[in-house]
Amino acid sequence: IGFTKGDWTTPLIQFLGRNLILFVVINFNNEIKASPVVPCLFLVWSFVELFRYPYYGIRLLNKDNRIIAWLRYTLWIVLYPLGAFLEGLTIYKSLNYYQSKRYFSIDLPNAMNFSFNFVLFLQIYLVLLPLGLIHMMQHMWNQRKKTLIKKNK
């Protein structure tokens, strides 16, 4: 779209991960909706966005705001690991529910001769979540260096 500079794959990974957790893991699981983990997760996600979008809006106007830029490229250092932990905890606490209900799992035999184990998918997601976090943090660290060092010159 061109609103921001840079690679589109990293935001896409974040978008897909959040949507999986929100619209699939949380939305179909009434037990996890009642857990205090979910509002904590939403709070962390909201804090991340609280400075991302004002920063982008200011940049679209070709303006600079050092405070917003610093907040945008510093708060994630705490919020991203906390968010990943809460995302992982949300998924972990949902495993038994999805194992018992078999939502989104496809068992054989069926007309397509295809099986899919949603719980196994979530378990693999949990194993890969730290790798995704590392990727996101490296991306943000590079963005931080590029943005904040440039602003300090």
Rounded distance, CA 3 to CA 135, Å?
22
What is the full DSSP assignment across 105-139?
A: -BPSS-TT---B-HHHHHHHHHHHHHHHHHHHHHH
Give phi and psi for 116, each to the nearest 5.
-145, 125
Active site residues: 80, 87
Residue that is written with structure tokens 């943090």 in the block: 137
Tell which residue, 50, 5, 1, 26, has the closest CA to residue 122.
26
According to DSSP, residue 7 is labeled -
